[in-house]
Amino acid sequence: MTLRESLKHFVFLLVFLFSSLLNAADLPVRQVILYKHGVGYFQRSGQLGAGETARLDFDAAEMNDVLKSLTIIERGGGKISGLRYDASEPLDKKLSAYPFRLGPGQPLSAVLDQLKGAVLELKFGTETVRGAILSGRVTPRDDKRPESEQVLLLLDSGEMRGFDLASATGIRLLDPALQTQFRQYLADLSGARSKEKRSVYIDSTGQQARQVVADYMVPMPVWKSSYRLIWDQGSEPTLEGWAIVDNTTGEDWTGVQLSLVSGRPISFISRLYEPRYIARPTAELPEERAQAPVVHQGAIQEDKPAEAQRDVRAQKMERAAGEVIGGIVAAAPPPPARADVTSTVTGAAAAQELGELFEYSFPAAVTVRKNESAMLPFLQQKLSARRLLVYSNTSSVHPLHSAEITNSTGKTLDGGPITVYDDNAYAGEALVETLKTGDKRLISYGVDLGTRITTLFDSKGDIVREIHVRRGTMTTRTAAIETKTYTIRNVDQKAKTLIIEHPVRQQYKVTDQKPVETTANAYRFEVKLAAGATEKLPVTEERVYESSVSVLNINPDVLVSYVQNKSLSDAARAQLQQILDRKRQIASADGEIRRSDEQIRSIFQDQERVRQNINSLNRVSGQEQQVQTYSRQLAAQETQLATQRDRQAEQQRRKAALETELNSLIEKMEF
């Protein structure tokens, strides 16, 4: 090719590239909506001429959300013929097509072992060796030699020899196809690390230009909110809200309509971008394999088929792109103390309910450069609030400077930090959760060293509140009473209002005080403190629990305490007294029976002693008189024994009769 022909070809190439750039339509960002759950809504719009293609660039990590949410709206003539985008094949799928794998830290001998049969050339100085690969291995270290990598080759002579790879000055595969595969394998690895951008192409047909709007969602940093609560001379403080937004898209937001949404709708990632491969079963004809036995399992539960879910298509509201009227420059946060801490801002954002969410829309177009962040004012108005002290941490003796704020702005206040200014000076900082319209919340921002609080704990024994008997079972309702007394000392010479947060305990109920409000974890009691005064707040709680026991098993001493209980009616007390009397009589009969048993055992023991004496005397001559005396004593003891047995039998009959009466009384008793 001559120099003239080369220049002509180069000029033609430049013209072609220039015309291609002219045919690429530009769809700049017109609207941005940021949410609190990690995504952002973007709207792009622009002129798309006949036959033109618009290109949208995204990070690879954004493609799943783009494919899930991208919507194209066409205004004017012509049609959108389709969308194209850069495909992505999983790296593992690409690498699986190669006859080898290069793993992390894999030795060269292991790589060569995968290429059995390939011809390998090794150079050792001036000597060159060629042969087919039989195997590759790592020889472990021992006392005679260090660890080494070996390859076993089949030489042209038919000899099999092993070679030390570390000694080779050159290693080369002679198969050109294998060399190409290695280069492509490494190129795929490198491409997977470097290719981070993906493009979506919007193609069009038709003979005239028209307006194209593209809407989509991509992952974005959540927007943050911070507030300034400014106490001035008026009765209501001023609440000033600032939104912090981050532009991490790599593209300038120039004159966009920016909105911020408070709320957390459900969102998730669905893997739509990467191709999916389904593992299919292997099927064979029946005659090609032996029939395996079939084992049918028994049914455990029969499930009804689930109803088909309805395909609900979300309706999108078309938003016309507004005119770019300039950017808002976020002011720096105010210093801790100055003459007037109220900021002068261009105006608050327009607010509106958005279904279950809440949206702030900035009235003027906003400009945020790429890789920059901005502070934008979205709220500045009076707020219903009152100054308080709050005591909730019993490990401290001081309460906290606090404020009770009521959201009277008519807008949802997104959660975030609050910097409090009092009398044009920095007073502290607090955190607040998201606050709906009309909701009320306490915030604490400093320690009040002018108020001291101590606590004293006292408890009473269990008090029986109710006693019920039915079918021989007594059920008692018993109360455990505990009192915690807060002693509050106001050192300052000014009146204060204190909120004490008393913890809620399971199964305990406050009896003597009525809290002004109750949270999930605490009762709140309000105490008015005069200047230099001391106040006490006793909080009494009780825990009522039930216990059941058979009346037959109740000890008489316990029954006495129940009979003396003032909560019992006279009729119930009379019934319990009858039970108590019978139990005492039965206890007395038991005592008589035990004493009879003891006397009988004593007589038996004495008789045993007399019998032993008689046996001993019978062996000695001249002791007949003493033997007769012991015999008369045995006869007298037999008479005593018979008397005691008769008395014991009578006592047992009396006890049985008393037990029958007791059982009858218990069966009839009910109150």
pLDDT digits (tens, 9 = 90+) for 556-586: 877 777 777 777 777 777 888 888 888 888 8
What amino acid is encoded at 470 in this protein? R
Reference 38, options 245, 248, 258, 267; nearest CA is 267
Is residue 438 within 8 A of residue 406, CB to CB? The reply is yes
pLDDT of 11 reads: 38
CA distance 185 to 444: 62
CA distance 501 to 390: 7
Determine what percent of the chain is predicted with pLDDT higher than 70. Answer: 83
pLDDT digits (tens, 9 = 90+) for 587-642: 888 888 888 888 888 888 887 887 887 787 777 777 777 878 878 888 887 888 88
pLDDT of 7 reads: 35
CA distance 216 to 62: 10
CA distance 455 to 393: 11
pLDDT of 466 reads: 73
CA distance 362 to 34: 12
pLDDT of 21 reads: 39
pLDDT of 160 reads: 92
Q: How many CB atoms lie within 10 A of CB 532?
A: 12
What amino acid is encoded at 3 in this protein? L
Is residue 374 within 8 A of residue 330, CB to CB? The reply is yes
pTM above 0.75, yes or no: no
Is residue 443 within 8 A of residue 405, CB to CB? The reply is yes
Is residue 378 within 8 A of residue 363, CB to CB? The reply is no
Count of residues in the chain: 671
Q: DSSP letters along 372-388, please?
A: EEEEEEEEEEE-EEEEE
- Token pair 């320690």 is found at 447
Q: How many CB atoms lie within 10 A of CB 206?
A: 17
pLDDT of 369 reads: 94
Q: Which residues of the chain have pLDDT under 50?
A: 1-23, 289-338
What are the Cα distances from residue 411, in Å, to 434, 440, 596? 11, 13, 90
pLDDT of 79 reads: 66
Rounded to 5, what percent of the chain is helix, strand, coil?
A: 25, 40, 35
| Residue 399 φ then ψ, to 5° | -80, 180
What tokens were used for 613?
């004496």
- DSSP 3-state of 143: coil
**Where do the DSSP E strands lie in 315-407?**
350-354, 357-361, 366-368, 372-382, 384-391, 400-406
CA distance 429 to 422: 12
Q: How many CB atoms lie within 10 A of CB 33?
A: 22
- DSSP 3-state of 537: strand
Domain boundaries, the chain: 100-185, 224-251+321-385+403-439, 451-553, 563-668
What is the CATH code of the structural domain delimited by 100-185?
2.30.30.520
CA distance 7 to 14: 11
pLDDT digits (tens, 9 = 90+) for 441-455: 999 999 999 999 999
pLDDT digits (tens, 9 = 90+) for 178-188: 888 888 888 77
pLDDT of 417 reads: 92
What amino acid is encoded at 368 in this protein? V
The strand pair at 224-231 and 416-422 is best described as parallel
Return the H-helix or E-strand segment holding 103: none
pLDDT of 130 reads: 92
pLDDT of 22 reads: 40
What are the Cα distances from residue 136, in Å, to 162, 388, 460, 464? 9, 80, 84, 87
pLDDT of 283 reads: 64
Reference 671, options 531, 543, 607, 577; nearest CA is 577
**Where do the DSSP E strands lie in 530-664?**
534-550
CA distance 403 to 387: 5
